[in-house]
Amino acid sequence: MKPGLWRGRDLLSMLDLSAEEIVMVLDYAAVLKEMQRRGESHPWLAGKTLAMIFHKPSTRTRISFEVAMNQLGGYSLFLGPGELQLGRWKEMADMARVLSRYVEGIAVRTFGQEIAEELAHHATVPVINGLTDREHPCQILADLLTIREHKGRLEGIRAAYVGDGNNVAHSLMLACPRVGMDLVVATPPAYRPEPDVVAAAREMAARSGTRLELLDDPVAAVSDADVVFTDVWASIGKEAEAAERERVFRPYQVNADLVRYARPDYMFLHCLPARRGEEVTDEVIDGPASFVWDAAENRLHVQKALLALTMGE
């Protein structure tokens, strides 16, 4: 696969990738992972710089993007909270224009999806969504790669997501129907995914003939699941709601009692960091069904694929 095949393209949402393009990213990531394992250099972004705008802190996202650029022969420039004053739309537009004169790509980890979209609208270099409140596409691509590695396929896999109807749930809903996976999402009624995401996902599921369900019952969601996902109950920016969320979400904890309803060879996935004892127990995340560490590694390989495809020559 040729670096730069998607030169200049943005990745802001799972909606930006067709089913064929999702598979292309996974295939490319698998090739890069094998090259790294063999010690084969691949400096396809030599001399190129990635600006990383992080309004939200993250250890894994920062390290994986920085290592990705290093392994591709390029350079990363971290711009953390307070280093860029982007409080107004005009400031974001101007910064996008300026950065486009300095760097060959931008990764953004921020709050509103509209911030990433505004940066992409005014930038003349590719913008990759490292996380917004609405979506987490890089994580879901890494999860799909992990599932394919261990299950040998994506089509026909039955996935369950239990917890908050947040960015992880949104990106899963927009990805699973495209790759032939069934998905059941269990959330408390007041914490369901956004209606427009639900509508888009249901339309995709109808076209692909896959199952997409939204339930209140975590046991029903997890029953016979091949893969079980969860995420923190209070994402960054929701800390003030933590006590109330802990009360509401307690029945949605992924623990030994819940996962016994899944298939015996089920996989557990979590985007990390995990709040052990809240959304997941130690016995699950540290157990033999846990593949969260593989998925964390695969963030590196997926992001390398995206960077090479969008920033390469």
Euclidean distance between CA atoms 4 and 17, whole angstroms: 16
Give Cβ neighbours of residue 194 (< 8 Å, ≥ 6 apart). 134, 165, 170
If one looks up domain 138-295 in CATH, what number appears? 3.40.50.1370
pLDDT tens, per residue, the chain with 313 residues: 779 999 999 999 999 999 999 999 999 999 999 999 999 999 999 999 999 999 988 899 999 999 999 999 999 999 987 776 655 556 788 989 999 999 999 999 999 999 999 999 999 999 999 999 999 999 999 999 999 999 999 999 999 999 999 999 999 999 999 999 999 999 999 999 999 999 999 999 999 999 999 999 999 999 999 999 999 998 777 777 888 999 999 999 999 999 999 999 999 999 999 999 999 999 999 999 999 999 999 999 999 999 999 999 9
Q: What CATH homologous superfamily does 14-135+297-311 map to?
A: Aspartate/ornithine carbamoyltransferase (3.40.50.1370)
CA 36 to chain CA centroid, nearest Å: 22
Active site residues: 109, 136, 139, 231, 271, 299
User: In the chain, where are the structural domains located?
Assistant: 14-135+297-311, 138-295
Identical fold for domains 14-135+297-311 and 138-295, yes or no, is yes
Give Cβ neighbours of residue 78 (< 8 Å, ≥ 6 apart). 52, 54, 62, 66
